[in-house]
Amino acid sequence: MTSQIHVIDLFCGAGGLSLGFEMAGFDVVLGVDSDQKCAETYSRNLGRCTVADITGIRNPVTFLESETGLEGVDVIIGGPPCQTYSPAGRIKMRSLGRDPGSDPRNWLWRHFMRFVESLKPDWFVMENVPGMAGVMIDGHRLPDLIVKVAGRMGYKAEWRILNSADYGVPQIRRRLFVIGSRTGEEIPWPERITDRPVTVWEAISDLPVIPHGFRKTVIRYTPRCRLTEYQKMMRKGADGWLYNHVTRRHNERDLLIFSLLPEGGKYMDVPKELRRYRDDIFRDRYRKLRRDAPSWTLEAHMAKDTYRFIYPSRPGEPEPPRTVSVREAARLQSFPDSFMFPKSLTHAFRQIGNAVPPLLARAVAGSLRKCL
């Protein structure tokens, strides 16, 4: 086994996939993303990140050498943008009068595979939404087409959909992975590590009580309960401070509705006489998290609002009604408290919602590590 296994992360975003690979002992030498804000977050927490549009990089070999000094890498990882593959993304595009089928982002996976073909790593790992499996191109489901393309390049490849909750993430989040090997070895899919998912409360109950509209980006970390094993893991490597525990401000009408919702409840669970105060929203827009279950899937839409992620406050307890803080959302994605996000709530929530949960990435990377 080599001492250093070099990895580059294409379409790296804030770095959830890279962080998981770093946790598993890989050396991620470079992240690449076209979003300046994501690159700033990645660089602050992980290391070198180049802001670049991958479609415009003509020679991946020259690019890699100029950015890292390396002539090759052992693994290429990445998650091409998925808006055109998700049902919500396709609905939104149609509402804007755009055809999802003609969106250029449908083909970004080809540029990922172009890097694979040029750099010839021993392994590659591509990540995306499960909706990718429902996209048909030339009579093939898209993941099957990627496997076929990889085969032409000399890679044995497979795809599967994994659930983050099976790997220690306090969130029901299904993600599609395509793994390819140029060594001819069997694809090493990770074994699920638990039959009992980590719950929302096991993930965030230690964090200080704060009101809605709280904007102190750095506060003292004073746990308010005995730490769970998950919380201990999230605090590992953190100092005595807590970052990004900030919240959105809400009007009194929303705060009242938040307080009336049962755990797991939606807007339709609010008494009829109060529902008339919000007849401008979808009936499932409001949703309160359950303490005794993992969260449902976090989304990039959190950049606009967090109504579907209402904090599980209870009558008679100190937690005031509000939606989740940036740090709580990061905890539900399995980002450790040492990982810092932008001060802007919009950018922070978008980056968290788009990210690969680091613990899921670590599970995939850990299974791969055994083959290297």
Which pLDDT value is given to residue 101? 52
CATH number for the domain running over 200-353: 3.90.120.10
Only one residue has tokens 């946790």, namely 23
CA–CA separation, 219 vs 209, rounded Å? 12
pTM (predicted TM-score): 0.92
Active site residue 82: yes
Query: What is the pLDDT at residue 90?
Result: 46
pLDDT of residue 93: 45
Which amino acid is it at 257? Answer: I
The domain 6-190+356-369 having CATH identifier 3.40.50.150: the answer here is yes
Q: Which residue positions in the chain have pLDDT lower than 70?
A: 1-2, 83-106, 273-284
Reported as type and span, the H/E element at residue 241 is strand 241-243
Distances (CA, A) of 130 to 10, 135, 161: 19, 10, 7
Token pair belonging to 48: 């070198």
Among 12, 38, 49, 82, the active-site one is 82
pLDDT for 27 equals 98
What would the pLDDT profile of 79-112 be if each residue is shown by its tens digit? 999 766 655 554 454 444 554 455 555 689 999 9
Q: Which of 47, 156, 89 is nearest to 354 (CA)?
A: 89
d(C-alpha 71, C-alpha 283), whole Å: 54
Q: Which backbone phi and psi does 267 adopt, to 5 degrees?
A: -55, -35
CB contact at 8 A, 261 and 270: yes
Sheet holding 27-33, edge to edge: 49-51, 27-33, 6-10, 75-78, 123-128, 174-181, 156-163
- pLDDT, residue 327, reads 98
What does the DSSP assignment read for 174-207?
A: EEEEEEEESS-PPP-PPPP--SSPPPHHHHHTTS
Domain ranges of the chain: 6-190+356-369, 200-353
